[in-house]
Amino acid sequence: MKKRHVQLKEGERAQLVALLGKGRLGVKVFKRATALLELDRGKTLSAVAQTLGVSYPTVLSWRDNYLQQGLQCLNDAPRSGRPRVFDGKQRAKITALDFSESPEGHAKWTLRLLAEKVVEAGYCEDISHTQIGNILKKTS
């Protein structure tokens, strides 16, 4: 008898099959779910790795993550990093200000003028012209 690397519960197996049947699924989640089902069916780690086009250690880590976390292992853990300084409303206000009429004596808004006006209008306490440029670049 072959060694089963993963032994899914009946509910988990049904959940994975339903998830794969949706059709719209991210590649990472699709590969992880497929790997778990294949391991449950008795395939070897190397066979699953070859089928999915990933390395042996990757399948090994998916299996270990399943054994520790259950089906939570299908999704990535939250990434570390600096949180956004400006929320969506502030970004929208800055973008709207860019499309408004430029100040008197100027043909158009510059990034530095926008930064001054944003602070003056009270959208935030301080902001640099480069931050303004990054916000506008992502919205256009």
Residues 105 and 58 both lie in one domain:
no
Treating both helix axes as pointing N-terminal to C-terminal, what angle do 129-139 and 111-121 enclose, rounded to 10 degrees? 100
66 and 93 co-located in one domain: no
Contact 118, 132 (CB under 8 A): yes
The residue to which tokens 């070859």 are assigned: 50
Residues 100 and 59 in one domain: no
Q: Looking at residues 77-84, what average pLDDT do you find?
A: 84
Do residues 74 and 29 touch, judged by C-beta distance below 8 A? yes
Residue 5 domain flag: no
> What pTM value is reported for the model?
0.60
Residue 136 in contact with residue 95, Cβ under 8 Å? yes
Is the domain of 15 the same as that of 61?
yes
List all residues 6 or more positions away from 2 whose beta carbon is below 8 Å from its beta carbon.
42, 44
Q: What is the pLDDT of residues 22-75, one digit of tens each?
A: 878 889 999 999 999 999 998 999 999 999 999 999 999 999 999 999 889 888
Residue 3 pLDDT: 66
Domain of 34, in residue numbers: 10-74
Nearest C-alpha neighbor of 87 from the set 135, 33, 22: 135
Mark whether 121 and 69 lie in a shared domain. Answer: no
Tell me: do 68 and 15 sit in the same domain.
yes
User: Does residue 79 fall inside a structural domain?
Assistant: no
Of 138, 112, 140, 139, the closest CA to residue 127 belongs to 112
- Indicate whether 14 and 66 sit together in one domain: yes
In 51-133 the beta strands, taken as DSSP E runs, fall at: none
Q: What is the percent of the chain with per-residue pLDDT over 70, rounded to a whole number?
A: 96
What pLDDT, on the 0 to 100 scale, is given for residue 127? 92
For 82-96, how does the pLDDT look when each residue is reduced to its tens digit (9 = 90+)? Answer: 888 888 899 999 999
